[in-house]
Structure 1
Amino acid sequence: MEFDVYGRLPVGDYPLTLDQLRSSILVQGTGRHPMDTQWRLQLVNNLEELVQPLWEIGIEDIFINGSFVTSKARPGDIDGYYVCDVRDLVSESLFRVLAEVSGEDIWDTRKRVQVGYDDFKPKMWEKYRCELYPHCEEIHLNFPDPPFPEFFRQTRVGTGKGIVKLIRG
């Protein structure tokens, strides 16, 4: 895995375990792309705390992106999404189960905290500096547009970019 000339992962899905992520260029950097390794390791440790409940309830398709998967030395956070069952999302049982398993009421991404004058983030961001959004193919609520699979695989101007798919170790 290497960055392209723009400091992004080339187009494609990159399956990585959390340990592989920790030892990858996304955390360790390269001579040409030095990283704030301690900060990036902390973000991955935070991410691990968030994905464990997802894996525990059977959610396997978890993707991360944002500035974390670029050559930016110190990204602000990790962005991503996970694929869930439409019935669990619509009934909101997904959020209840995740709250029970994790012991935290942070999973409903509609519940937001103010982090700047006009900037709001999901509650999980406040503690973990990660934003993981639920996604199911059956629902597209016009946010984002395009839906997450495409949204996370392209730049703001529509150029393709790579994404990390987390896999169990």
Structure 2
Amino acid sequence: MLARYGITPWRLKLLAGMLDALRLLKAAGCKRVFIDGSFVTSKEVPGDFDACWDADGVDFDLIDERLLTFDRGRATQKAAFMGEFFVADSGADPQGTLFRDFFQTDREGRRKGIVVIDLKDLP
């Protein structure tokens, strides 16, 4: 992931924040995280990254509270991790679309790909 997405100093900073959160999620039992947004494009300076995580097998007593803080603009998450994290099976819009599905649809309603990170491979 570093070679593919860590191509600028700013992207490396975003990746460092993301990795901090991924390690916390893995420690709580999370197995997969889905990444979306301009971070997974060729954009040189994405604003941040958007992520959602699979809650299957997660011990919520071990989840870092910042990953469950959804204050205005997810300011707490962005300050700590440089991006936003949502539970994959929670609603992303008023229609109840799950984040996992919401991330796979563009603004025009067309299907698109996302990046899936298997946390078992994370050091």
With the shorter chain as reference, the TM-score category is: 0.7 to 0.9
Counterparts in 2 of 1:82 and 1:39: CA distance versus 1, 3 Å: same
- Larger strand percent: 1
Aligned to 1:127: 80
TM-score (normalizing by structure 2): 0.82
Aligned to 2:2: 22
Counterpart contact for 1:144–1:151, Cα < 8 Å: no
Query: Which consecutive aligned stretches of 4+ in structure 1 deviate over 6 angstroms post-superposition?
Result: none
Aligned to 1:164: 115
Aligned to 2:32: 61
TM-score (normalizing by structure 1): 0.62
Q: Alpha-carbon deviation of 1:146?
A: 2.3
Aligned to 1:10: none
Cα distance in 2 for partners of 1:132, 1:144 equals: 20
Which structure would you say has the larger RCO, counting Cα contacts within 8 Å and 6 or more residues apart? 1
Q: Alpha-carbon deviation of 1:145?
A: 4.5
Aligned to 1:98: 63
Q: Give runs of aligned pairs for residues 72-83 of structure 1, distance below 5 A.
A: 72-83=43-54
Counterpart contact for 1:78–1:130, Cα < 8 Å: yes
Cα distance in 2 for partners of 1:46, 1:140 equals: 24
Aligned to 1:147: 98
TM-superposition CA deviations, 1:85-139 (whole Å, max 9, x none): 49x7xxxx72x4223xxxxx312233x14xxxxxx22511123211111133xx6
SS in structure 1 opposite 2:66?
Answer: coil
SS in structure 2 opposite 1:121?
Answer: helix
* Two-structure CA RMSD over aligned residues (Å): 2.4
Cα distance in 1 for partners of 2:81, 2:27 equals: 19
SS in structure 1 opposite 2:68?
Answer: coil
Counterpart contact for 1:145–1:151, Cα < 8 Å: no
Query: Number of residues paired by the alignment?
Result: 120
SS in structure 1 opposite 2:63?
Answer: helix
SS in structure 2 opposite 1:41?
Answer: helix
Counterpart contact for 1:63–1:163, Cα < 8 Å: yes
Q: Which consecutive residues of structure 1, in runs of 5 or more, have no partner in the other structure?
A: 1-20, 29-36, 100-104, 114-119
Aligned to 2:13: 42
